[in-house]
A and B are shown apart, each in its own frame.
Chain A
């Protein structure tokens, strides 16, 4: 049997929240078991466990890196494990490695889990982590920069070059929170906000206001993946990877020539679309993991959905949120769902699966056949773009 291709056939996720009473292992076991049951396979059919490295969770990193998951869960068919760390692009790398296990014939099914608890880590420690891990400790950190500050710098320039207004960018957050308000897995479920709420929230790092910055939260999710051929026998639950492209820019934000990542969004999406035999206009859903509002605009410009500089007006005109004709980021991004570290990218894949399966509830995109998804790690060091479809080709 051909072992080619990658398909997601099982998903599990816990609601994003701030609940230090839940342990990291409780979340991990719950999401893994849910994914296995969702796929309808036996646990001993899992041939490998490729974990998403949880940022700032050293004990869990060690457990995941050194084989605790198959041992604790009794995965008797597991032939190997590994952990992937590329920050917010970790899940993408887990899928790449999982595909290699499948194509080489070593595994029919691969489990890809993530778990994170940030609510038991002091705020000052988290500010320090996000200021030092993705930023330069010699030429940025001594200047009092935070992650919000770094993204504020890029957002200011985006507004300068495109003429996008603070109100237009605030509309991005309103739309992301509107998606989150409809999603039981979002920390903001049932909590939509208005343009005034965003505009009147405290200024953090100009032009970014409190509602436009991320709430660090706890969460976890898991996927079960297999080859296209095996997935085809599993019926409607399968969602197929159709194409993938990726571009790296820089680790350090000020080193980036492609400051809004448009070229990286464009080239990575062109590669993914070309492999899938589809056009950007065939995409029923665009899922953009950028964690800050400008990325939701510049990605649409890079994809070729609109002209450069027009991204913010699409959001401001209500076209990308619930009820719009260009639904984007139904997952809510970190701003609309809660930031679970490298788990945000996991949740993006899971939400894309739900949309393509028709299981997205009130957020369901009508006739969702194909979706494009971009994840990024660090300070948006890269753009990893994948096209998924309900059919394998």
Chain B
């Protein structure tokens, strides 16, 4: 694998489960076993009830575009080769909103409300980032 020169997520002890999941190409959402809240991003304690009895549920991987922005310039040097970058906030049916990039599509094809699905990219041996792409009809 060629050397990945972009910033990697600063993985925390309590988010390790999420990133272990992406390495197995699973999108895991933190879940509170005390109050049933789905939690994103992962924390040490449930932000609703402060329970530490937290586990993981596997998300369906489907989502809907809440908003997007196509970045054409002004990024740090290591991201220049990726321009244009389609930034998006996507809503998961599990009640979670995530920040991501939309991939495998052209900027002009993106719209709010578009159905997307997770796609995993193993960017290093240790880290897999989840991205989203349009659902093929």
A positions within 8 Å CB-CB of B: 124, 127-128, 131, 136-146, 148-150, 152-157, 160, 202-208, 213, 252-255
Contacts of A207 in B (CB 8 A): 69
- A140–B69 CB distance below 8 A: no
CA of A138 to CA of B12, assembled, Å: 9
CA of A124 to CA of B82, assembled, Å: 16
B72's partner among A124, A153, A204, A252 (CB-CB below 8 A) is A204
- B12–A144 CB distance below 8 A: no
* Nearest residue, chain A, Cβ from B72: A203
Known: A138-B11, A213-B74. A154 touches B67 (CB 8 A): yes
Contacts of A137 in B (CB 8 A): 7, 9-10
- B68–A156 CB distance below 8 A: yes
* Nearest residue, chain A, Cβ from B80: A144
A210 to chain B, nearest CB (A): 9
Q: A143-B85, A152-B87, A204-B71 are in contact. List 7 more A-B contacts (CB 8 A).
A: A137-B9, A139-B9, A152-B71, A203-B70, A205-B87, A253-B99, A254-B99
Contacts of B8 in A (CB 8 A): 142
* Nearest residue, chain B, Cβ from A128: B76
Known: A143-B99, A145-B87, A156-B112. A138 touches B71 (CB 8 A): no
- B74–A205 CB distance below 8 A: yes
- A204–B15 CB distance below 8 A: no
Contacts of B62 in A (CB 8 A): none
A255's partner among B11, B97, B107 (CB-CB below 8 A) is B97
The listed residue with most B CB atoms (<10 A of its CB), out of A136, A144, A160, A205, is A144
CA of A204 to CA of B87, assembled, Å: 12
Q: Mark interface residues in B67-96 (1 if CB within 8 Å of A CB, else 0).
A: 111111111110100100101110000000
B57 an interface residue at 8 Å Cβ cutoff?
Answer: no
CA of A138 to CA of B10, assembled, Å: 5
A158 to chain B, nearest CB (A): 9
B50 an interface residue at 8 Å Cβ cutoff?
Answer: no
B103 to chain A, nearest CB (A): 11
Contacts of B101 in A (CB 8 A): 143-144
Contacts of A131 in B (CB 8 A): 76
B105 an interface residue at 8 Å Cβ cutoff?
Answer: no
CA of A146 to CA of B73, assembled, Å: 10
- A157–B112 CB distance below 8 A: yes
Contacts of A202 in B (CB 8 A): 72-73
Jot down 22 A-B pairs with beta carbons below 8 A, ordered by A.
A128-B76, A131-B76, A138-B10, A138-B12, A138-B41, A139-B9, A139-B40, A142-B129, A143-B87, A144-B75, A144-B79, A145-B87, A146-B75, A149-B75, A149-B85, A156-B112, A157-B66, A157-B67, A157-B89, A206-B71, A208-B69, A255-B97
* Nearest residue, chain B, Cβ from A139: B41
B82's partner among A144, A152, A160 (CB-CB below 8 A) is A144
Contacts of B73 in A (CB 8 A): 202, 204
- B6–A144 CB distance below 8 A: yes
A230 to chain B, nearest CB (A): 44
CA of A146 to CA of B10, assembled, Å: 17
* Nearest residue, chain A, Cβ from B40: A139
- A205–B67 CB distance below 8 A: no
- B88–A153 CB distance below 8 A: yes
CA of A262 to CA of B112, assembled, Å: 21
Q: Mark interface residues in B9-27 (1 if CB within 8 Å of A CB, else 0).
A: 1111001000000000000
- A127–B74 CB distance below 8 A: yes
Contacts of B70 in A (CB 8 A): 203, 205-206
The listed residue with most B CB atoms (<10 A of its CB), out of A128, A146, A154, A202, is A146
Contacts of B67 in A (CB 8 A): 153-154, 156-157, 160
Contacts of B85 in A (CB 8 A): 143-144, 149
CA of A210 to CA of B6, assembled, Å: 25
B98 an interface residue at 8 Å Cβ cutoff?
Answer: yes
* Nearest 9 interchain pairs by C-beta: A152-B69, A157-B67, A144-B79, A138-B9, A205-B71, A206-B70, A144-B85, A153-B69, A149-B71
Contacts of B7 in A (CB 8 A): 137, 141-142
B87's partner among A139, A144, A160, A255 (CB-CB below 8 A) is A144
- B41–A205 CB distance below 8 A: no
A124's partner among B6, B77, B87, B99 (CB-CB below 8 A) is B77
Contacts of B41 in A (CB 8 A): 136, 138-139, 252
